[in-house]
Amino acid sequence: MTTLLIDILLALKGADKFGLPLDNLLVDLRRGRHRSLSVPQLESALRDLADRSFTTPVEATLSGTRWRITALGLSALQEEGLA
């Protein structure tokens, strides 16, 4: 798994069950190790994680789509000693 995917999972772990909108997640990741991350790259990474069932998009009534880590994603972090 790439550092980007791991960093996304860690960011979503911090957001817990509420998740994060794409824009907020992008800003958080750009503050860290992924300064040149683009929206299409982030969307692709999130879809990759969702295909593995590590993340899931959730429709929030007021804020639109938010991304949330799943129990499987939390388990993957724990198995790597990152949670």
Q: What is the pLDDT of residues 11-60, one digit of tens each?
A: 999 998 889 999 999 999 999 999 999 999 999 999 999 999 999 999 98
Rounded distance, CA 34 to CA 16, Å? 21
CATH of residue 32: 1.10.10.10
User: By residue range, what is the domain housing residue 62?
Assistant: 3-79
Q: What is the pLDDT of residue 67?
A: 97
Average pLDDT over residues 72-83: 93
Count of structural domains, the chain: 1
Q: What is the pTM of this model?
A: 0.93
Using alpha carbons, select from 10, 77, 2 the residue that is nearest to residue 44: 2
Token readout for 59 is: 């429709």
For the chain, where are the alpha helices, taking DSSP H only? 3-15, 22-31, 39-51, 71-79
CA pair distance 76, 32, nearest whole angstrom: 21
